[in-house]
Chains A and B, each alone.
Chain A
Amino acid sequence: MPEWRPTYAHLRAVVVGLATLVVGLAAGRADAVVLAAPLVLVALASARRPTSVPTATAEQRSLTVNEGEEVTWEATVTGLPPGGSATFVHPGQRLLEVEPAEGLLCDERDGSAVGQVALRPLRWGRRRLGDPTVAAYDGWYSWRHGPVPLAGLRLTVLPVTAPYNAAAPAPHPRGLVGMERAARPGEGTEFNKVRPFGPGDRLRRIHWPVSARTGRLHVTATYSDEDAHVAVLIDAVNDVGESTGIDGTRSSMDLAVRAAAVLSEHFLHRGDRVGVRVFGAWGVSLVPASSGLLQLRRILDTLCLIEPGTARGEDALAARQGLGAGTLALMLSPLIDPAATQQVAILNRAGIDVVVIDTLPPGMEDETGTTAAALAWRIRMLQRRVETTRLASLGIPVVPWSGAHSLDQVLRDLGRRRATPRLVVR
Chain B
Amino acid sequence: MSAPVTGLVVTDRDGSRLLTLTLPGLVTRLCVVLPVFLALVVVDRLAPEAPWWPPLVLVVLAAAAAELPDTSVGLVTLGGLVAWWLHAVTGPSEWWALLVAGCGLAFHTALAHAAAGPPGCTPTWAVVRRLAARCTGVLLVTGALALVVEIAEEGGEPPLLVVGLALALVAALPWAVRRG
Which residues of A does B touch, CB under 8 Å?
7-9, 11-16, 18-23, 25, 27-44, 47-50, 70, 83, 85, 87, 89, 92, 94-95, 97, 99-107, 118, 120, 135, 137, 139-142, 144, 244
- Min CB–CB distance B96 → chain A (angstroms): 8
Residues of A within 8 A of B124 (CB): 104-107
Contact of A30 among B1, B94, B126, B167 (CB under 8 A): B94
Q: Give residues 23-79 of B contacting A (CB, 8 Å).
A: 24-25, 69-72, 74-75, 78-79
Q: Determine if B97 and A34 form an interchain contact, defined as CB atoms under 8 angstroms apart.
A: yes
**Closest residue to A19 on the B side, CB-wise?**
B79
Residues of B within 8 A of A50 (CB): 180
Q: Determine if B149 and A34 form an interchain contact, defined as CB atoms under 8 angstroms apart.
A: yes
Residues of B within 8 A of A13 (CB): 108
Which of B25, B70, B93, B142 is packed against the most chain A CB atoms within 10 Å? B142
Cα A356 to Cα B33 with chains together (Å): 63
Residues of B within 8 A of A7 (CB): 70, 112, 115
Cα A95 to Cα B180 with chains together (Å): 46
Cα A8 to Cα B120 with chains together (Å): 18
Q: Determine if B141 and A103 form an interchain contact, defined as CB atoms under 8 angstroms apart.
A: no
Not counting A31-B92, A107-B126, a sample of 8 additional A-B residue pairs whose C-beta atoms are within 8 angstroms of each other reads A19-B79, A31-B97, A48-B179, A101-B6, A103-B120, A103-B122, A135-B116, A141-B112
Residues of B within 8 A of A100 (CB): 3, 6-7, 22, 121-122
**Closest residue to B100 on the A side, CB-wise?**
A35
Residues of B within 8 A of A120 (CB): 1
Number of B residues near A (Cβ < 8 Å) is 79
Contact with A along B127-146 (1 / 0, CB 8 A): 10010001000110110011
Residues of A within 8 A of B116 (CB): 85, 87, 105, 135, 137, 141, 144
Cα A378 to Cα B38 with chains together (Å): 65
Cα A40 to Cα B75 with chains together (Å): 14
Q: Determine if A99 and B1 form an interchain contact, defined as CB atoms under 8 angstroms apart.
A: yes
Q: Determine if B146 and A99 form an interchain contact, defined as CB atoms under 8 angstroms apart.
A: no
Q: Give residues 74-107 of B contacting A (CB, 8 Å).
A: 74-75, 78-79, 82, 85-86, 89, 92-94, 96-98, 100-102, 104-105
Which of A16, A21, A104 is packed against the most chain B CB atoms within 10 Å? A16
The answer to whether the Cβ of B161 comes within 8 Å of any Cβ in the partner chain is no
Residues of A within 8 A of B119 (CB): 102
Q: Determine if A135 and B117 form an interchain contact, defined as CB atoms under 8 angstroms apart.
A: yes
Q: Give residues 141-180 of B contacting A (CB, 8 Å).
A: 141-142, 145-146, 149-150, 152-153, 157-158, 163, 166-167, 169-170, 173, 176-177, 179-180
**Closest residue to B73 on the A side, CB-wise?**
A8
Residues of B within 8 A of A35 (CB): 82, 85, 97, 100-101, 104
Known A89-B121, A102-B117; judge A39-B145 contact (CB<8 A): no
Known A35-B97, A101-B7, A244-B15; judge A16-B117 contact (CB<8 A): no
Main secondary structure of the interface of B (DSSP, over half): helix
Residues of A within 8 A of B72 (CB): 8, 11-12
| 12 examples of A-B residue contacts, CB within 8 angstroms | A8-B69, A8-B75, A15-B79, A16-B75, A16-B82, A34-B142, A94-B14, A100-B6, A102-B119, A103-B117, A105-B124, A144-B116
- Min CB–CB distance A51 → chain B (angstroms): 8
Residues of A within 8 A of B153 (CB): 30
Q: Determine if A29 and B86 form an interchain contact, defined as CB atoms under 8 angstroms apart.
A: yes
Q: Determine if A48 and B180 form an interchain contact, defined as CB atoms under 8 angstroms apart.
A: yes
Which of A12, A20, A23 is packed against the most chain B CB atoms within 10 Å? A12
Cα A137 to Cα B130 with chains together (Å): 14
Residues of B within 8 A of A139 (CB): 130, 134
Q: Determine if B3 and A99 form an interchain contact, defined as CB atoms under 8 angstroms apart.
A: yes
Residues of A within 8 A of B22 (CB): 100-102
**Closest residue to A88 on the B side, CB-wise?**
B117
Q: Determine if B93 and A31 form an interchain contact, defined as CB atoms under 8 angstroms apart.
A: yes
- Min CB–CB distance B126 → chain A (angstroms): 4
- Min CB–CB distance A75 → chain B (angstroms): 14
Residues of B within 8 A of A18 (CB): 170, 173
Cα A36 to Cα B141 with chains together (Å): 12
Closest 3 CB pairs of A and B: A9-B112, A49-B180, A48-B180
Cα A21 to Cα B152 with chains together (Å): 17
- Min CB–CB distance A91 → chain B (angstroms): 10
Known A34-B149, A87-B121, A244-B15; judge A47-B180 contact (CB<8 A): yes
Cα A353 to Cα B82 with chains together (Å): 85
Q: Determine if B3 and A39 form an interchain contact, defined as CB atoms under 8 angstroms apart.
A: no
Cα A227 to Cα B63 with chains together (Å): 71
Known A34-B98, A35-B85, A139-B134; judge A48-B121 contact (CB<8 A): no
Cα A49 to Cα B177 with chains together (Å): 7
Cα A35 to Cα B35 with chains together (Å): 14
- Min CB–CB distance B158 → chain A (angstroms): 7
Q: Determine if B177 and A47 form an interchain contact, defined as CB atoms under 8 angstroms apart.
A: yes
Known A25-B163, A105-B121; judge A97-B82 contact (CB<8 A): no
- Min CB–CB distance B165 → chain A (angstroms): 10
**Closest residue to B111 on the A side, CB-wise?**
A9
Q: Determine if A70 and B2 form an interchain contact, defined as CB atoms under 8 angstroms apart.
A: yes
